[in-house]
Each structure stands twice: as structure tokens, then as C-alpha cells.
Amino acid sequence: MCIRDSVNAEPKIQPSRPVIRMLLSNLLSNAINASDPGIITVEISKSELRVLDQGSKVSEQNKQEGHGLGLLIVDALCQRYNWRFSLVSREPTGSIASLNFKSHL
């Protein structure tokens, strides 16, 4: 028996609204939990979603200990859809969580 595969193009996978809601909900929850009273900003463009908070900066220790369950879910979903997720420190204080929707294959 011989099975042949013929792939002419990769299918584009579009996330459902619940997936987008889950991503945004987890990013906002993380920003709220990381911040004392302050401003949380959500920036949305055609190719990127960013959540900026005024909480504590991201340190190497935070990265080694993990992001927390919500951000691990965000990271897993981004891997599923070939998006890029990053969490970096913001000057003078706070962090920026970014989802880049361009495919990074």
C-alpha cells in the first residue's frame, strides 16, 4: 500500500472570536494583576495588538519563573497560529505585551 500526499498550499487558519477574546482577556488580566492603580493602554493595528501597563518591569527572574498561566495560554495560541508573542519592559516602569499577527514561519 502506498499513500501519497500532495500539498499545493498551506491553509490559512483564522482564529474564532472566542480565541481573540481569550487572548485579549489574558493580556488584560496580566496587566491588571501586574499593576498598581495606573493606566493600561490597548493599542490595535492591522498587524499587532499591544497591551501597555504601568506595573513592574519584566526581569530575567520573571522570565525564568514563567509568565503565569494566562500568558502561557497566550503563548500557546500564538504558536498555534504562527504569531509572535513578546513581553518586554517599558521605560520608565511597566511592561508591553505584544501579539504580532503576521505569520512567522
Contact 41, 90 (CB under 8 A): no
- pLDDT above 70 as % of the chain: 72
CA distance 76 to 72: 6
**How would residue 74 be classed by pLDDT, with cut points 50, 70 and 90?**
very high
What would the mean pLDDT of 19-29 be, rounded to a whole number? 89
The more confident residue out of 71 and 4 is: 71
- Helix (H), strand (E) at residue 51: strand 48-53
The more confident residue out of 12 and 69 is: 69
If you ran DSSP here, which 8-state letter would residue 53 be given? E
What would the mean pLDDT of 79-89 be, rounded to a whole number? 90
The more confident residue out of 101 and 65 is: 101
CA distance 25 to 19: 10
* pTM score of the predicted model: 0.73
CA distance 87 to 63: 9
